[in-house]
Structure 1
Amino acid sequence: MCTRAVVPDVDALQSSRANVKARLRQVVSKVNSAALPGPADLAALDAAITDLCALNPQRDSATSDLINGRWVLLYTASLTTLRQAARASGLSPSSYGIGGSSSGSSSGSSSGGSSSVGGGGSSRGGGGEGLEEVLTPLQLANDAAYKFFYTYVPVLAGAAVGVRGASGSGTVKARGNFQVFNTKVGRVENQARFDVAGRQCCVNVDGTAVVAQMPPGAPKQRLRATFTSFDLLVDGERRLSLPLSLLNPVGYVDTPYLDEDLRISVGDKGSVFIAAREGLAGAGM
């Protein structure tokens, strides 16, 4: 008696991925619009990130041509904050499939893990990390300061990317944060645009990027970056240019989710980044 091989339902997989992406964008919009997002919203964001990473269509994201191009940062947060929010909401935090573990692929199934995709929340297994902690105002305040440095002085935060969310009122107004990958020539560029007292300013941090060596069988999802130069432009004119060789700002970024228009990355400094490809519908949210 012959048995027929189980073929993944590609249409169902794509539908699940589209549903989770829509949910992620909704939560990101809600969190970005809140002056101080609460644990429930951050836990929902953590769940959506986890669910989407389980549906990753690019197992070797660091070597995929899709990672190249100009990306607009939609959201960044401390990974610690999202994990604390998950604990406070009664969920176990997730590693998003990084750290040498294998993420999902286009030939996989969304039912392969404990992640629940679709409309509702996610119940994720995994060991705890000590006593459960409640998300504190101090942690949120720390994140606010961390975001400021990612926005305006990314090299000081050891940034792999900037942050979209910053106050639109006051003297300083954010105008967008971007990252450009070109793995074919081994380059990465970070750019944060903002206005100060009516002057258009831009911080560029350029560097090299190479695919990191991973253990045999592990997905190739890590890029190592070495930042080499820092430039400040005001109204299109370069006002400050510094080499970064003395600071030696070296880091890496893992990308456990990548498709044609959305990227989720986790940096070595402990932050998760959600970015959209520039020019596609909904990139600026």
Structure 2
Amino acid sequence: MRFARLGPVGHEIPVVVDGDVAYDIRSVTADIDGDFLASGGAARAAAALAAGSLPVLDDAATLRRGAPIARPSAVYCIGMNYAAHAAESGSLPPENPVLFLKPPNTVVGPDDVVVIPRGSEKTDWEVELGIVIGSRASYLDSPEEALTHIAGFVVANDLSEREWQISISGGQWSKGKAAPGFTPTGPWLVTPDEVDHGALRLRSSVNGEPRQDSSTADLIFSVETIIWHLSQYLALEPGDLVLTGTPEGVALSGRFPYLGAGDVVEIEIDGLGRQRQDVVAFEGARS
């Protein structure tokens, strides 16, 4: 199944997307969040769809596409999880998963405008496979057990400010990852039965020019390994978002310019949908 949230910021309508039709599931849930996922909401929505009891959201095509999950309690990110990206970053492939965090307020809709942070000169793009947690995962016994805790997968753009991430980071990456809106997510939350998460093609482009083109088959640490590994150190909660790393082809490589006002970023993952973001300059005082 494909779940989405459509409408203005803070007033998104939860829907299930079947073909080109969006069905309103507010009779099943107020939102697509951790409670919905943990309580068997996907199965209830599927049953309602099969019974024909869900109304069509007639104006769906005209509505803003929000992130397909409501604000998660945490956004966990795995760094340098493709060997070629580690190399273009000047690092050897890691022996253990590299973990950093992004604030939940970085999660926005897949087509929302990207604002270059004030003072930034090195804003970068990163197409990534995102994992949405469906049930609490703590001290899992094996990677194989991880799949039972996954609600689905999403496209995510792990936007980064490289100067802040690397040069003035103090040794931690999150400073360069934390600007509001720095994790465009969606358009859909796709349940695991719909895709082969181990062999998904990821692509990005800037102003129509190709940048990244790879496959999740090239992940150093698989989806299952990531969830199992994280569960040894923290408790993953329903609705949490886990980003799995980006392939080569980012501006950090030195082969491409960093993002500037007027640029258009497009990213996609086969089976999970496509994003498009207009990049604009920061304006206004701090609030």
* Structure with more helix by fraction: 1
TM-score normalized by structure 1? 0.23
Q: Which has the larger radius of gyration?
A: 1
Query: Which structure has the higher relative contact order (CA within 8 Å, separation 6+)?
Result: 2
